[in-house]
Structure formats: structure tokens, C-alpha cells
């Protein structure tokens, strides 16, 4: 996964892009497991997932109303299309991501 900054995220919104964003914090054990699941999914389907450490971008957490980590946020043309907090399984996440091309 490619690390994104606040600037990258705001630019994607401005350009009305549709990235998949994974928000985490480094000390969160559940985030580590979720991150590994997303690494596997990224390798499987070749779609890039971007990640960002929420500790450094609290403004983004407020903007997207992120309630907890890990959080997978799917943007569609710069707007939030879906937020996922429960990373149940790799097949579950693959099915969700299929809906978004």
C-alpha cells in the first residue's frame, strides 16, 4: 500500500477521484491485521489501496467523520461512498471492493 498525506487526500477530493483509503494508527493491533488483509487483497487484484496514519491528519478524520480505526473509506468522485470498520475476512472485503470497480 502506498502511504498518503493530507495533501494527497485533499487533492484526490478536489480532483473528484475515487481512491480506496485505509486509515490506521501504528500502535493498533487490529489495524496491523487489517493492513495485512488489505496487502493480500491488493496483491490479489492489483488495485491500489492508499493508507494514511490518522495520528498525523486529525483534520481528515474530522472531515470524513471517522469514528475509529481501522477504517476503510471508499471515495467515489471525491465523496465518501462507503466506510468500513469491521474487516471481517479477506473474502468479505474482496466482495465489497468488487462493487467499486
State how many domains the chain has.
Answer: 1
CATH code assigned at 64: 3.40.30.10
What pTM was estimated for this model as a whole? 0.95
pLDDT band at 38 (very low <50, low <70, confident <90, very high): very high
Residue 48: give the domain boundaries: 2-98
In terms of pLDDT, which residue wins out, 46 or 19?
Answer: 19
> For residue 21, how far is the Cα from the chain centroid?
2
pLDDT band at 57 (very low <50, low <70, confident <90, very high): very high
| C-alpha pair distances (Å), 87 with each of 17, 31, 43 | 24, 10, 17
Amino acid at each position: 500500500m502506498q502511504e498518503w498525506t493530507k495533501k494527497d487526500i485533499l487533492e484526490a477530493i478536489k480532483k473528484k477521484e475515487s481512491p480506496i483509503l485505509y486509515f490506521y494508527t501504528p500502535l493498533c493491533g487490529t489495524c496491523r491485521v487489517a493492513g495485512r488483509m488489505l496487502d493480500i487483497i491488493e496483491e490479489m487484484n492489483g488495485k491500489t489501496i492508499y493508507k494514511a496514519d490518522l495520528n498525523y491528519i486529525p483534520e481528515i478524520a474530522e472531515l470524513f467523520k471517522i469514528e475509529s480505526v481501522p477504517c476503510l473509506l471508499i471515495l467515489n468522485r471525491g465523496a465518501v461512498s462507503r466506510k468500513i470498520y469491521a474487516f471481517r475476512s479477506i473474502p468479505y472485503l474482496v466482495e465489497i471492493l468488487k462493487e467499486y470497480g
